[in-house]
Amino acid sequence: MSISTFESLQNFITEKMRMSHIYQPVMLMTILRNNGKASIEQIAKQFLINDQSQIEYYSKITTTMPAKVLEKNHSLIHKSGNDYLLNNFNSLSEDQKNILIDLCQQKLNAYINKRGDAIFNHRKKSSGYISGTLRYDILKEAKFRCELCGISADKKALEVDHIVPRNNGGSDDINNLQALCYSCNAMKRDRDNTDFRRVADCYYHREENCLFCEIPTERIIEENELAYVIRDGFPVTNLHSLIIPKRHIASYFDLGKSEVNACNRLLEETKVKIQAVDNMITGFNVGINIGEDAGQTIFHCHIHLIPRRKNDIENPKGGVRGVIPEKQKY
């Protein structure tokens, strides 16, 4: 490679390359690594390797489909951390390994020949091209969050979804496009034409002068996209915690499904962490006050997680029935 070619490429990469996706550097790297020449298929495979949404998709497939069959149903493999190991692999000779690989390849070839393109129809995207500029505009409009579940782009890859699927006559017009994370988009597929673009807006609603809408950040122990955890300011027991949706909403029953899921995840995580720091905990009370007559004093939904320890009261029988004292014992 001449100096001028090197300098030209170096200058382009460092100064002139403007990126709307991963494609330019991946394509150049692929050509450079293949002695200055790479086929369309070779380049496309590298795009696939570097596409995090595809990796997430097939990671999910790995753990839920083939691994379940091979591990639980037939005891051929086992999981160790993030790896799958073939049982008794070291007992196989090189010839035996190659024979088994060939047998797998024969099975694969026969299946592909029988099923053809139908095998991957579920992963085919729109045949229309969504430009990098348009994709950026869609994600920017969504504040780089999934329009349905609210997760941010730095935590899960976002995709541009056709509200009315192309298979049902939907266009590539910006008004028919929305940002969904890989998981929400995979669940939606082509089954409906629900417009989620305004669903996520409600997650940002805050109420002025609400204690839980204006909670100091230093009090927050854990949080996710839609909820957070603090210790109760007037704890019933040590490590008494509150799981609170970020949106200002009074009743648990008015939470969206994604908010309920977010709260439940934090509830479980907080329970595990509390038990890890206090081995005297033998139980929990989980409770929600909904409405003034049920004892609610802060009208921003919050879930109490109250650790219990043996003999912390004389007779704990009845638990949450104690909200009406004379009904606790039965």
CA distance readout (Å), 46 to 29, 43, 50, 165: 9, 5, 6, 28
In sign, the C-alpha dihedral spanning 101, 102, 107, 113 is positive
Per the rule left: phi > 0, alpha: psi between -120 and 50, beta: everything else, 36 is left
Nearest to 224 by CA among 250, 244, 251: 244
Show the tokens assigned to 62: 């790995």
CA distance 245 to 203: 9
Show the tokens assigned to 318: 């009845």
Active-site hit among 78, 240, 248, 302: 302
Nearest to 178 by CA among 121, 133, 134: 134
Show the tokens assigned to 75: 């005891």
Is 162 a residue of the active site? no
Nearest to 157 by CA among 266, 58, 45: 58
Nearest to 258 by CA among 183, 311, 191: 183
Positions annotated as catalytic residues are: 302
